[in-house]
Amino acid sequence: MKPVFADTFFFLAVLNPADVAHARATELSRSLRRQRLTTDWVLTEVGDAMSVGGNRAAFVEFCEFLKQSSLVSIVPASRALFERGVALFSRRPDKEWTLTDCISFVVMADEGLAEALTGDHHFEQAGFVALMK
């Protein structure tokens, strides 16, 4: 079975019990026994969101957990992938897709993935299935 892409939306919902999507994210995290693929850029967004208060230590612990997990693969940052994301970003001025979204879409296309652990409608605009919608 193909992996599923794990987006910032999913990770933040899992990590924050006050997030409106927490229950759904937690349920999917426990029940969906498929490989998860994410990127260094997604993890950068998660880290940025957790940069205040006492959340830094929780983010570092979370990153260590992901690196050790047999269910998670992290696509490393590279100049080539960054440039491909920028190229998609520049071709779609009609969309409000973030650069991180564009890089995610490139990775998903490269890997032949159709589904993402996200509630972000931008993934649906790009032709993918958002499993948290």
Which tens digits make up the pLDDT trace of 68-101?
999 999 999 999 999 999 999 999 999 999 999 9
**Cα–Cα distances in angstroms (integers) from residue 12 to residues 9, 46, 88, 94, in the given order:** 5, 7, 25, 27
Q: What are φ and ψ of residue 9, in 5° steps?
A: -50, -50
36: β partners:
4, 72
Residue range(s) defining the domain that contains residue 125: 4-130
Residue 110 has a pLDDT of 98
- How many domains in the chain? 1
Which tens digits make up the pLDDT trace of 14-50?
999 999 999 999 999 999 999 999 999 999 999 999 9
What CATH number corresponds to the domain at position 92? Answer: 3.40.50.1010
CB contact burial 112-133 (16+ within 10 A = b; e otherwise): ebebbbbbbebbebbebebbbe
Which tens digits make up the pLDDT trace of 100-131?
999 999 999 999 999 999 999 999 999 999 99
pTM of the model: 0.96
